[in-house]
Amino acid sequence: MVMARPFEALVDEHGAVVLRVVRALLGPADAEDAWAETFLAALEAYPRLRPGGNVRGWLVTIAHHIAVDHLRAAARRAEPSGDVPERAATGPGSGADAVADRDPQLWAALAVLPFKQRAAVAYHHVAGLPYAEVGPLIGSSEVAARRAAADGIARLRSTYREGAAS
Amino acid sequence: MTTEIEPAGALGADLTARVPEDLRARLATAAEAAGVLDVAYRWVDSPLGPLLVAATTEGVVRVAFDREGHEAVLAELAARVSPRVLRAPRRLDPVTRQLDEYFAGDRRSFEVPVDLRLARGFRRTVLEHLRTIPYGSVESYAAVASASGSPAAVRAAGTACATNPVPVLVPCHRVVRSDGSLGRYLGGVEVKAALLALEGRRESG
């Protein structure tokens, strides 16, 4: 029988990855709110999680729904439409975030990607999820998820290099 | 496998980086407010080495010595109480302060709720009795067995002491052998001697 691990062990093991995922999705300014909401929702649901399951995929799925909620709320504030906006709700924040401070161009470049590309890049390249899991999360097939991530990386490569070279 | 290119590499960097402490504290506060912090724990420095102290919403459920192993103790709490275990110091503020006072010799009894759910039946009865043994006093295992309603159950009384989930707060260190020698202690016999010395006793090992 697989015993449930103490939740603290999940925070230790996956906390940093989930923080980078929500930074990639929302930008550094909203990332900490989304991280705290993700782990609170996970803690609430944790006793019902099947032991031995894919914990990182589960956490990223929760983070995805919370990030989508954040983006929808931001869109409602900006304009009366329920769709997920193509752009991140917030650009890279100033200060606060050590990684953004070190590499602000990367976060700026991510923020202008279409949401599906940004999410595909985050779930595959940051969280390490296989495209077979990324696809259902972003409402696409495995093939389309792979293409979205490749397109996102290609676009990041061009904008990021331009920014870094300036 | 795609070849690693700069943006993906930068995105994946620092995966071993830790979540900032203030963000973890925020999670702990939110979890407490939402009523989903089933087990809060922290480390407390003491003259006996670091103690892991854990509390449910009912009270302190576990005090563990370093030698019991951090991971083993947390795994036991996850299995026997709830997997919703989080490092969340605030719930432990009162017991931490009282432990500090106790080890400084400024406190003779603890005034924090204790949750004895990890002990059942006779063991729990024994622990309830131990809480009545005053600071600086000792009782024999035989006397503890009698006081717990089973004079013949001396060995079981010893087992109850040896498996006390909340040592120091429930003073199993105040139970010694009838010949005056210390007997066993989960934290090590030298820790038992140190606690009794703190309380002004000089028992022979």
Residues of B near A (Cβ–Cβ under 8 Å) read: 2, 5-8, 10-12, 14-19, 23-24, 26-27, 30-31, 34, 36-37, 39, 41, 74-75, 77-79, 82-87
Question: Residue B34 and residue A40: Cβ atoms within 8 Å?
Answer: yes
pLDDT at B23: 96
Walk me through the domains of chain A, giving residue ranges and CATH numbers.
7-165 (1.20.140)
Q: Which sequence positions of B are flagged as catalytic?
A: 172
> In this complex, which of B7, B36, B79 lies closest to A160 when CB atoms are compared?
B7
Among A40, A56, A131, A160, which would you mutate to test the B interface (most chain B Cβ atoms within 10 Å of its Cβ)?
A40
> In this complex, which of A6, A32, A156 lies closest to B75 when CB atoms are compared?
A6
pLDDT at A28: 84
pLDDT at B9: 67
Distance from B204 to chain A by nearest Cα, in Å? 40
CA–CA gap between residue B191 and residue A18 (Å, rounded): 42
Q: What is the CATH number of domain B121-198?
A: 1.10.10.10
pTM: 0.86
ipTM score assigned to the predicted complex: 0.88
pLDDT at A100: 44
Instruction: List, in order, residues 6 or more apart from A41 with CB less than 8 Å away.
Output: A62, A66
CB B126 within 8 A of CB B144: yes
Mean pLDDT of the B134-150 span: 96
**Residue ranges of domains in chain B:** 20-103, 121-198
Instruction: List, in order, residues 6 or more apart from A132 with CB less than 8 Å away.
Output: A142
Instruction: List, in order, residues 6 or more apart from A154 with CB less than 8 Å away.
Output: none
* Contacts with B5 from chain A: Cβ below 8 Å: 153, 157
The correct answer on CATH 3.30.160.70 for the domain covering B20-103 is yes
Chain B within 8 Å of A15 (Cβ-Cβ)? yes
pLDDT at A4: 83
Q: Number of helices (H) and strands (E) in chain A: give both, helices first.
A: 8, 0
Question: Residue A153 and residue B7: Cβ atoms within 8 Å?
Answer: yes
Q: Kindly indicate the confidence band of residue B3, based on its pLDDT and cuts at 50, 70 and 90.
A: very low
CB B40 within 8 A of CB B55: yes
- Greatest CA separation for chain A: 57
